[in-house]
Structure 1
Amino acid sequence: MDDLQALFLRDVPLLDVRAPVEFHEGAFPTAQNHPLMDDADRVAIGTRYKQQGQDAAIALGLQRVSGEVKAQRVAAWEQFAREHPDGVLYCFRGGLRSRISQQWLFEQTGLHYPRVKGGYKAMRRFLLNQLETLPATLQPVVLSGRTGSGKTRFLQTLQRTMDLEGLANHRGSAFGGQPTPQPSQISFENALAIQLLRALQTQSALLFEDESRMIGSLHLPETFFTRLREAPLVLMQVADAERVEISYQEYVVDTSAAFTALHHGDVERGFAAFSGYLLGSLDKIQRRLGGARHQAVLKMMQQALAIQARDGTTQAHYDWVRLILLDYYDPMYDYQISKKQERLVFSGSPAEVRDYLSSVGVV
């Protein structure tokens, strides 16, 4: 298999036989990791290769991955191959590990499963090239608006959009962390490149949410971010009361429920994790809030958490949400938008923004 563009455009299932540590450093959205060697195997065999050469390393590998261990790994590949008959397998360079996996799978099951020429390295190089070249063909429009305006929700109702915060698994603010961790930088870039490649097959105009270079701990690739930073800006205006309601719903109600779900419905453990998330998020902006304002927000937050712990209600969180939204985020946003006025092409309510985007062919 060497048509990498078709592989990514068709969402081909990917059987990744690299070691788990390699998979966690960078992977693709449709990939599952069923390694030929685990992390300990990889270290031991790599050390043997450096000390004694390839033949000795292969001999050690065949010794470590044998018997029941070998049977279990082939069984995992067989299950994947039968569930995904249209898939392909790969290792790092498309060399020895993928050939051995392919050979063992055939010998044990009779299944011929294709492998990717050049492996992960070729796939990664292809996607990096897309991130360098595709932004030049992109005609982005950027949706801006004050914190809590519901921009992400708005994007999710449209077709010609890309949810960068969804790809990054982060809502882009100090309180934007999710219960589950962000992907690695490499995995984020891979997913972004694939989405761009797919979206630009049919139309160059795409709508993005206004983001800084950093989304949580991840950064947008320079070429792509430069294109967004130069794009026309559409400002969505939402009443303060509605913004407070949206922020309360997303950062309190939804996030609290998500932490409980992550802990398999254990309300006590979920609440403890949620409390840690809120207080930790507040700590991140302590210096920018200033001492007095930080203490005021902290007191409101602690009181709200105490009430929630006592009777499960969350309405007390409205107080700190309102204060931090209007007194902290709004002045920062007003400053940032003042520097982007030359890019502003339209401003209006969500309904008016939708009509405008339709009139210019973005949605």
Structure 2
Amino acid sequence: MPRLTIQDFLQDDSGAPILDARAPLEYAQGHIPGAVSFPLFSDEERARIGTMYKQVNPDKAVLLGLDLFGPKMSRMVQQAQKLAPGKQVRLHCWRGGMRSGAVQWLLELAGFQVQLLDKGYKEYRRWVLQEFERPRPLLVLGGLTGSGKTAVLHALSARQPVLDLEGLASHKGSAFGSIGQPSQPTQEQFENDLALQLAHMEAEKPVWVEDESRTIGSVHVPPPLFQQMQQAPLVLLEIPREVRVRKLAEEYGRQDAGALASSVLRIRKRLGGLATKEALAAIAEDDMEKMVSLVLDYYDKTYSHGLSGRPAVRVPSDTCDAAVNAELVLAAAQKNWPAAMLNG
């Protein structure tokens, strides 16, 4: 069958699974969202073949590859039958070369219809980076720590396109952001997931996104997208400090005290020695409101400094109820940017 462009490969609606023929370590570093690891060679085998290719000669490397491939053929066909009972698959390797070619030959021999990605995963990565360069209408939701911005975005998502950066990053953005979250993706996987989500959004509709710093835990927002966020209209949700303290204290009260203490220690240089000591003591005494109040002194000051000079539409609210605040935020956007919201 002819090779597919990256656009056709991703837009295929047949339900055919995507098989990734690269080695497991390559897959773990980053893969097309939803793809299944279907390695032709193990990490060790790939290294052996690569060494022989470079240090001996390419012909012997090919022969070694065939020796390693032969005993696996039956097992790979059986695995493919489990993954794709309808015998239709999409397939790729790193750059559409010998690995995907060998797997394609095997599966077609076994009666599968195989759609091969032209230029492989390397082409997907090129597409990912291009996706971040595309200009798109954004609306940024800001607010001090504890304002419930993520919950407001979730409430908005029922009616508006929303890009949940913290959800994709598995991190809430502060020194406490990893608590209760799964492990963060690699930077490459974060970009892969992010680009595909952006591509599924209609280009003319404004997309809501949370006001984030450049880094979210161990990953960073791609520079072209971050620049667009910095230049986009900002809606600033203003929640009273005491309401935010109660909300955060309730959330952190359900978390492990050791994890909270570790998070405080990560920002001890910025908190200062006395505030750090008092925050750790508050955790030990299960006084979450005191701990939160001490930490908010730092975060509120830092966030407010970052906002200085940036125009914003301010939306005051005396509650952290996400549904209520979503209505307020949406009304503010419709009032201030009616043309953009009309497209949405």
Pairwise same-fold verdict (TM > 0.5): yes
Residue type matched to 2:263 in 1?
Answer: S
Match in the other structure for 2:294: 323
Report the alpha carbon displacement of residue 252 of structure 1 after superposing the two structures with TM.
4.4
Query: 1:106 offset after TM fit, Å?
Result: 2.8
Q: 2:227 maps to which residue?
A: 226
Q: Could you say if the C-alpha distance between residues 66 and 189 of structure 1 is closer, same or farther in structure 2, counting changes exceeding 3 Å?
A: same
Residue 71 of structure 1 corresponds to which residue in structure 2? 74
1:69-113 deviations in Å (ceiling 9; x for gaps) = 443333223322227x66411000111101111122233x32122
Partner of 1:82: 85
Q: 1:352 aligns with which of 303, 328, 336?
A: 328
276-285 vs 293-302, greater mean Cα deviation: 276-285
Which secondary structure state, in structure 2, belongs to the residue aligned with residue 114 of structure 1?
strand
- Amino acid aligned to 1:81: A
Cα 1:127–1:333 change in 2 (3 A) is closer
Tell me how far 1:44 sits from its aligned partner: 0.8
Report matched runs for 1:278-293 at 5 Å.
278-293=260-275
* Compared CA separation, residues 275 and 76, structure 1 to 2 (3 A): farther
Q: What's 1:188 paired with? A: 190
Give secondary structure in 1 for the equivalent of 2:50.
helix
> CA contact under 8 A between 2:95 and 2:123: conserved in structure 1?
yes
Give the counterpart of 1:337 among 295, 303, 307.
307
8 Å CA contact 1:9, 1:198 repeated in 2: no
Contact 1:244–1:318 (8 Å) recurs in 2: yes
Does 2:137 match 1:139?
A: yes
Shift of 1:124: 1.1
Structure 1: 4+ residue segments shifted above 6 A: none
Query: In 1, distance between residues paired with 2:106 and 2:271?
Result: 60
Matched residue SS, 2:235:
strand
1:115 corresponds in structure 2 to: 116
- The letter of the residue matching 1:246 is K
How much identity, in percent, do the aligned residues show? 37
| Number of residue pairs matched by the alignment | 323
Deviations 1:241-270 (A, max 9, x none): 3322332344443xx4xxxxxxxxxxxxxx
In the alignment, the residues of structure 1 paired with residue 70 and residue 257 of structure 2 have an alpha-carbon distance, to the nearest angstrom, of 47
1:38 is matched with 42
TM alignment of 1:270-309, pairs within 5 A:
274-304=256-286
3-state SS in 2 of match to 1:93: coil
2:95 aligns to what?
93
Alignment of 1:236-251 (within 5 A): 236-251=237-252
CA 1:284 to 1:89, structure 2 compared with 1: closer, same or farther past 3 Å?
same
Give RMSD over aligned pairs. 2.2
Quote the offset at 1:175 in angstroms: 0.6
1:79 to 1:200, Cα distance in 2 relative to 1, 3 A: same
**Structure 1 residues 194 and 49, CA, compared in 2 at 3 Å: closer, same or farther?**
same
TM (norm. structure 2) is: 0.86
Paired residue type of 1:78: Q
Q: Secondary structure of the residue that 1:44 maps to in structure 2?
A: helix
Counterparts of 2:81 and 2:154, CA distance in 1: 37
Asked whether the 8 Å contact 2:163–2:208 carries over to 1, the reply is yes
Structure 1, gaps ≥5 residues long: 257-273, 305-315
- Whole-Å separation in 2 of the counterparts to 1:153 and 1:224: 22
Alignment partner, residue 57 of structure 2:
53
Q: Measure, in 1, the Cα distance between the counterparts of 2:257 and 2:61.
A: 49
Counterpart-to-counterpart distance in 2, 1:112 and 1:223 = 38
Structure 1 residue 9, shift from structure 2 partner: 4.5
Matched AA of 2:235: V
Work out whether residues 35 and 73 of structure 1, in 8 Å CA contact, stay in contact via their aligned partners in 2. Answer: no
- Cα pair 2:235 2:315 within 8 Å, conserved: yes
Amino acid at match of 2:29: E
Structure 1 CA distance for aligned equivalents of residues 169 and 285 of structure 2: 31
Using structure 1 for the length normalisation, give the TM-score.
0.82
Separation in 1, partners of 2:161, 2:247: 23
Equivalents in 2 of 1:166, 1:31: separation in Å?
20
- Tell me by how many angstroms 1:355 deviates: 1.4
SS at 2:200 equivalent: helix
Q: Which has the higher helix share?
A: 1
User: Contact 2:9–2:90 at 8 Å: present in 1 too?
Assistant: no
Question: Counterparts of 1:216 and 1:90 in 2: how far apart (Å)?
Answer: 31
> Which secondary structure does the structure 2 equivalent of 1:92 belong to?
coil
How far did residue 187 of structure 1 move?
Answer: 1.3
Provide the C-alpha distance between the structure 2 equivalents of 1:118 and 1:251, rounded to a whole number of angstroms.
47
CA distance in structure 1 between the aligned counterparts of 2:230 and 2:249, rounded to whole angstroms:
29
Distance in 2 of aligned mates of 1:164 and 1:55: 47
